[in-house]
């Protein structure tokens, strides 16, 4: 009887959420138009042809709120204590509100990636302190505990345990869920349809585990997505926008954590990861692709999964159906693994299926060959940069110890040869006056400073004072190092050279010392004579108001004479040392 009531409650929640989203979405469409939340085609990565309102996530919110009210006040779930955990539900509500606010601002006015990430992190913190935490992970029968080290404190009469590793893993999980769903939302009906399949699958898993909160959230989210898909199917009347995609990622992340941490037989975290295999695979490929090509992770491109599918000649509807089938296959492997209590089988089937699907997609239109070539080129550049950095850093340290120009020139010349240059000109100026100039290789010809047949570079560097160093470089044709890497590291070496030359050519003014000596004090005079015996500097002496400039040797002799004279003369006499 209890199971029957639970099933009826879930059906009612799904239906109310579905109807609420269907009825609210037309109103949300008008609100989005009034607020200027319009997605316009850019003839680049967006596949739609006309201007379409976004911020459709508010329609999902309407369905979720209505179904939540029914679940809370309908009395169907009164017997389940977990559903009345106000603290935990409050954390979910606060995190959802923060996520909706971030998405709405981004849909209407735009938001930088860093600010958006900070807002997402704030939502995760609200979840964590609300009790939605990853305290342990079960993978292939092994459990990893993240609760230690940690601290425990009480807030508003509620005990909260904060583990360092638990907090980090929870943050990574939810930030990943939020952003993979944000990236997959690039085609009509894709994110909403795949989200419907994933939430429906996780709802069945939650029913199997008797986790009430997860089942209710999954049923409510599935109903809202089913209702929204009526408007989001190609040609779409409205898009989810960041308001909807971020909300889907947040709720699916909560459902996955609750299903893995609670229930009569907690399942592995691999199952929700496997269910989200399509958005996770697309995000992983995007990160790898942008890393290989040295692009920012936030850079847009036309190499997402739905772009590759459409490049096969399919229209948006056909592409969406094909991706639905792939996602349904992954969800089927999840249900199979849960039913057979065999996560390894599910992971093997789902992982091999995902790998085969991605290989087939990327092998068409030479995308895989381009990725391999770009990866090889990036590894080669990394190797060249490490070699150039090692050679340059060693040369900089040697230059810092040099005390003559010729040695510095030899070091710079040898370093340029090691980095693939066959010509170098080094000119040093101070206040427009040429101090020295050295040339070697093709750059010796005054009428043609640089051979135009190969890569060349010329730059001028100024030190902290008034010294300027002019450098001209020519790279050999058979150089094993890329020209931009060679010139970049040689510029660093030239800067260190300019700083060292500036110190060498700067003459420090003589240090003036004022000595006031009581010539009657033979002990002080003798001590001063011994102090100056090994010095060759000039000294300025003030005796009886007169200033005398003497060398240290002359001063020492006169001080000795003063000592002798003082011993023969009357006490208190002050013999004059005379001027130089």
**Among the listed residues 485, 466, 461, the one whose alpha carbon sits nearest the alpha carbon of residue 383:** 485
Structure confidence at residue 525 (pLDDT): 47
Question: CA 94, 96, 102, 104 torsion: positive or negative?
Answer: negative
Strand 38-39 vs strand 52-53: parallel, antiparallel, or unpaired? antiparallel
Structure confidence at residue 580 (pLDDT): 35
Q: What is the pLDDT of residues 105-125, one digit of tens each?
A: 999 998 998 999 999 999 999
Structure confidence at residue 14 (pLDDT): 94
Structure confidence at residue 253 (pLDDT): 94
Q: How far apart are CA 104 and CA 23, in angstroms?
A: 20
Structure confidence at residue 3 (pLDDT): 59
Instruction: Judge whether residue 19 has pLDDT over 80.
Output: yes
Mean pLDDT, residues 313-329 taken together: 93
Q: What is the DSSP code string of 154-202?
A: EETTEEEEEEHHHHHHHHHHHHHHHHHHHHH--STTHHHHHHHHHHHHH
**Among the listed residues 201, 242, 241, the one whose alpha carbon sits nearest the alpha carbon of residue 221:** 201
Q: How far apart are CA 201 and CA 221, in angstroms?
A: 12
Across the chain, what does the average pLDDT equal? 81
Mean pLDDT, residues 161-182 taken together: 92
Mean pLDDT, residues 247-274 taken together: 81
Buried b (16+ CB within 10 A) or exposed e, 128-159: bbbbbbbbbbbeeeeeeebbeeeeeeeeeeee
Structure confidence at residue 21 (pLDDT): 96
Ranking 81-85, 100-104, 334-338, 557-561 by mean pLDDT, the lowest is: 557-561
Q: In this prediction, what percent of the chain has a pLDDT beyond 70?
A: 78
Q: In this prediction, what percent of the chain has a pLDDT beyond 90?
A: 44
Q: How far apart are CA 98 and CA 249, in angstroms?
A: 13
Domains, the chain, in order of start with CATH, read 2-371 (no CATH), 402-505 (3.30.1140), 514-568 (no CATH)
Q: What is the pLDDT of residues 488-529, one digit of tens each?
A: 999 999 999 999 988 888 755 554 444 444 444 444 445 544
Q: How far apart are CA 512 and CA 124, in angstroms?
A: 66
Structure confidence at residue 310 (pLDDT): 87
Instruction: Judge whether residue 178 has pLDDT over 80.
Output: yes
Q: What is the pLDDT of residues 200-219, one digit of tens each?
A: 999 999 888 888 888 989 99
Q: What is the pLDDT of residues 445-492, one digit of tens each?
A: 444 444 456 788 998 888 767 888 999 998 988 888 999 999 999 999
How many Cβ atoms from other residues are within 10 Å of residue 18's Cβ?
22
Structure confidence at residue 225 (pLDDT): 96
Instruction: Judge whether residue 321 has pLDDT over 80.
Output: yes
User: What is the reported pTM?
Assistant: 0.75
Instruction: Judge whether residue 25 has pLDDT over 70.
Output: yes
Structure confidence at residue 337 (pLDDT): 92
Q: What is the pLDDT of residues 420-451, one digit of tens each?
A: 998 899 999 988 889 889 998 754 444 444 44
CA angle at 152 for the pair 149 and 155, rounded to the nearest 5°? 150
3-class secondary-structure state, position 86: helix
Hey, which of 76-85, 96-105, 510-519 has the most confident mean pLDDT? 96-105
């Amino acid at each position: 009887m209890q199971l029957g009531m639970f099933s009826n409650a879930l059906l009612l929640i799904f239906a109310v959420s579905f109807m609420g989203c269907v009825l609210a979405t037309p109103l949300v469409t008008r609100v989005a138009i009034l607020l200027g939340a319009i997605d316009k085609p850019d003839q680049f990565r967006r596949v739609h042809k006309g201007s379409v309102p976004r911020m459709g996530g508010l329609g999902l919110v309407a369905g979720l709120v209505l179904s939540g009210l029914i679940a809370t006040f309908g009395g169907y779930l009164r017997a389940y204590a977990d559903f009345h955990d106000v603290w935990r539900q409050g954390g979910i509500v606060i995190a959802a509100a923060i996520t909706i606010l971030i998405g709405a601002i981004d849909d209407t006015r735009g938001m930088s990636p860093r600010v958006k990430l900070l807002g997402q992190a704030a939502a995760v913190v609200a979840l964590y302190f609300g009790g939605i935490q990853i305290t342990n992970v079960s993978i292939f029968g092994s459990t990893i505990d993240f609760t230690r080290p940690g601290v425990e404190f009480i807030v508003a009469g509620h005990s909260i345990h904060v583990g360092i590793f638990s907090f980090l893993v929870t943050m990574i999980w939810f930030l990943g869920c939020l952003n993979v769903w944000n990236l997959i939302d690039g085609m009509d009906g894709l994110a909403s349809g795949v989200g419907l399949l994933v939430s429906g699958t996780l709802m069945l898993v939650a029913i199997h585990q008797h986790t009430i909160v997860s089942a209710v959230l999954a049923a409510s989210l599935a109903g809202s997505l089913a209702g929204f898909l009526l408007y989001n199917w190609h040609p779409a009347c409205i898009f989810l926008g960041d308001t909807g995609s971020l909300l889907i990622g947040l709720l699916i992340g909560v459902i996955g954590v609750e299903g893995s941490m609670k229930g009569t037989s907690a399942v592995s975290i691999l199952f929700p990861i496997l269910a989200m295999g399509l958005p996770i695979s697309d995000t992983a490929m995007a990160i790898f692709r942008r890393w290989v090509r040295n692009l920012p992770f936030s850079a847009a491109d036309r190499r997402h999964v739905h772009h590759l599918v459409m490049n096969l000649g399919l229209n948006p509807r056909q592409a969406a159906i094909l991706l639905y089938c792939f996602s349904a296959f992954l969800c089927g492997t999840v249900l199979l693994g849960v039913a057979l209590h065999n996560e390894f089988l599910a992971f093997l089937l789902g992982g091999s299926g995902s790998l085969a699907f991605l290989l087939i997609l990327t092998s068409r239109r030479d995308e895989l060959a381009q990725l391999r070539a770009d990866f090889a080129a990036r590894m080669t550049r990394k190797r060249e940069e490490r070699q150039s950095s090692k050679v340059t850093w060693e040369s900089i340290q040697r230059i810092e110890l040099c005390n003559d120009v010729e040695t510095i020139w030899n070091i710079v010349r040898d370093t340029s040869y090691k980095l693939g240059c066959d010509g170098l000109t080094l000119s040093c100026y101070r206040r427009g006056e040429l101090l020295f100039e050295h040339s070697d290789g093709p750059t010796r010809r005054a009428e043609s400073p640089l051979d135009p047949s190969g890569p060349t570079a010329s730059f001028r560097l100024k030190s902290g004072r008034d010294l300027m160093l002019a450098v001209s470089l020519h790279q050999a044709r058979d150089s094993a190092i890329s020209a931009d890497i060679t010139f970049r590291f040689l510029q660093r070496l030239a800067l260190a050279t300019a700083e060292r030359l500036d110190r060498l050519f700067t003459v420090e003014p003589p240090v003036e010392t004022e000595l006031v000596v009581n010539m009657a004090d033979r002990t002080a005079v003798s001590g001063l004579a011994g102090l100056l015996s090994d010095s060759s500097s000039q000294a300025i002496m003030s005796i009886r108001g007169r200033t005398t400039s003497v060398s240290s040797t002359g001063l020492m002799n006169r001080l000795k004479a003063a000592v002798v004279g003082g011993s023969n003369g009357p006490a208190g006499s002050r013999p004059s040392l005379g001027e130089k």
